[in-house]
Amino acid sequence: MHAMRVRPFIRRTLVALAAVSLAVALPARARAQAPDVSATGKLASVKVTGSTRFHSDQIVPSTGLSPGATITKDDLQRGADRLAQLGTFATVQYRYATADAGVEAEYQVTDAPAIAVWFDNFPWFTDDELTAELKKTIPLFDGTAPEHGTLLDDISNALGKLLESRSVHSSVSHAIAIAPTTDLRVQQFRADAAALNIAAVEFSDALAQSDRAIHLRLPDIVGQPYSRSLIELFEFEQVRPIYLSHGYLRVKFGPPTARIPAGTSNSGITIAAPIEPGPFYAWNRATWTGNSAFGVLELDTMFPLHEGNAADGVKIEAGWQAVRDAYAHRGYLDVNLTPVPHFDETAKQVSYAVSIAEGPQYRMGKLVLTGLSIEGERRIRAGWNIAPGAVFDKGVYDEFYSSGIKQAFTGLPFNYEKIGRFLQEDPKNATVDVLLDFQ
């Protein structure tokens, strides 16, 4: 847990201040009624300001302070420490003053970054049920979680109690993970002792139900311990490409739900996987802007699709990569393609407006070699096929790395376990140095 420095700060009022020196001249009434907070005093009120995510009454319970209780200055500090340790707040400060009713405490906070919560293997509940129950028991849970802090333990403990309500005895752990379909960081919660395996997957759409390629890959998840991450990754990597290849470019996958057989605790569960394929689209065309190294006809021929063909999303993505590779062959290492789709819902066609930022055309700079013997370096330089000052062909570079290096060592023992490689670009001079490190 990251340590947070918590500082008190003082508010000067006409009444009295808890930390003001006795030498300061104050109104007599204030001096007489002000409790010495360094010793004891009655807490008249406590509030928290500064958060844009939570109200004061949601945060105050986490301080451990209650109006009417007798407190000391150490109690106020401990309240600040509790807030700091939650992980919910980036900074915590506090101030206090005395009034006729007692000590008035105010904590000022700023919100820390929060990330989405991911419930990975809780098939007994829906996400909505888990979220609703956590909001009931944890005032500072809003559907997201901090990256660290004691609030994460509070959530884990609350989830453990929910599992107990279903006669599931398991601790719950948490860790930062990457969501399988978005590449976003999430706070993942897992039931450590969940023993349910996936027995079957039922897709809602006919294409997934009948596709042979999908069914050949089902053993990747069937028989495995239940995990939403595993299921959604399977849908993204194995099922989604099938729909894209059939022209269903707007396919959507709903959250998978689990059906647990009644009266059993350790038998397999059936997963319902909802799929909305969306409309079928045919390929229309791509229009190009920003291109000078290649003409429109050259770019068009890099696509294996013709007007009226199914808009095969896999081939479309391969087409963009073919364009990038073609530019890299001509030395344009920084080329950037921005394809923007336009869906014609009447004709059920898709076309793309593709903006190309070519960047500089790089030429070969230096070939830098490390870790080689004299003979080894001689052979590598002899086998390298891009002359200094020539247009840098990345395809030649990749092929040399994959096979040319070993060919250069024909007749000699090849004892290198790892070869590090790096392209050091100089955009200003449009040159690139090749660095190969033999280890």
What is the rounded average pLDDT for all residues in the chain?
89
Average pLDDT of the residues in 353-357 = 98
Q: Which of 152-166, 267-281, 291-305, 403-417 has the lowest mean pLDDT?
A: 403-417
Residue 113, judged by CB atoms within 10 A of its CB (0-12, 13-18, 19+), counts as exposed
Task: Say what the pLDDT of residue 395 is.
Answer: 96
Please state whether 308 falls in left (phi above 0), alpha (psi between -120 and 50) or beta. Answer: left
Distance, CA of 265 to chain centre: 33
Domains (range + CATH), the chain:
7-111 (3.10.20.310), 114-191 (3.10.20.310), 198-260+267-276 (3.10.20), 282-357 (3.10.20.310), 364-438 (3.10.20.310)
Q: pLDDT band at residue 6, thresholds of 50, 70 and 90?
A: low
Residue 402 exposure: Cα atoms within 13 Å on the Cβ side? 6
Q: Is the dihedral of CA 51, 53, 55, 59 positive or negative?
A: negative
Q: pLDDT band at residue 101, thresholds of 50, 70 and 90?
A: confident
Among residues 362, 357, 382, the alpha carbon closest in space to that of 372 is found at 382
Q: Which of 66-75, 203-212, 275-284 has the lowest mean pLDDT?
A: 66-75
Q: Is the pLDDT of residue 29 over 70?
A: no
Task: Say what the pLDDT of residue 265 is.
Answer: 52
Percent of the chain predicted with pLDDT > 90: 81
Q: Which of 13-17, 74-78, 377-381 has the lowest mean pLDDT?
A: 13-17
Average pLDDT of the residues in 73-98 = 94
> Do residues 73 and 50 make contact, with C-beta atoms less than 8 angstroms apart?
no
Token pair of 211 as six digits:
């596709």
Q: Is the pLDDT of residue 23 over 60?
A: no
Task: Say what the pLDDT of residue 326 is.
Answer: 97
> Could you give the CA distance from residue 57 to residue 77 in angstroms, rounded to a whole number?
19
Token pair of 330 as six digits:
């001509």
Q: Is the pLDDT of residue 258 over 60?
A: yes
β-strands 257-259, 252-253 pairing:
unpaired
Query: Residue 116 in 3-state DSSP?
Result: strand
**Mind listing the pLDDT tens digit for each residue in 328-345?**
999 999 999 999 999 999
> Do residues 36 and 122 make contact, with C-beta atoms less than 8 angstroms apart?
no
Q: pLDDT band at residue 34, thresholds of 50, 70 and 90?
A: very low
Task: Say what the pLDDT of residue 21 is.
Answer: 24
Q: Which of 7-11, 182-186, 371-375 has the lowest mean pLDDT?
A: 7-11
**Mind listing the pLDDT tens digit for each residue in 322-332?**
999 999 999 99
Q: Bridge partners of 70?
A: 42
Report pTM: 0.78
Task: Say what the pLDDT of residue 304 is.
Answer: 84
> Could you give the CA distance from residue 58 to residue 50 in angstroms, rounded to a whole number?
13
Query: Residue 56 in 3-state DSSP?
Result: helix
Q: pLDDT band at residue 149, thresholds of 50, 70 and 90?
A: very high
Average pLDDT of the residues in 48-72 = 95
Task: Say what the pLDDT of residue 181 is.
Answer: 82
Average pLDDT of the residues in 32-61 = 79
> Could you give the CA distance from residue 258 to residue 228 in angstroms, rounded to a whole number?
10
> Could you give the CA distance from residue 124 to residue 324 in angstroms, rounded to a whole number?
47
Average pLDDT of the residues in 16-34 = 29
Output 320-326 pairs: Cβ under 8 A, ≥24 positions apart: 320/354, 323/294, 323/299, 323/356, 325/394, 325/395, 326/294, 326/298, 326/302
Percent of the chain predicted with pLDDT > 70: 90
Task: Say what the pLDDT of residue 266 is.
Answer: 56
**Mind listing the pLDDT tens digit for each residue in 419-437?**
999 999 999 999 999 999 9
Q: Is the pLDDT of residue 77 over 50?
A: yes
Task: Say what the pLDDT of residue 36 is.
Answer: 47
| Burial letters 325-355, b for 16+ CB under 10 A, else e | ebbbebbbbebebebeeebeeeeebbbbebe
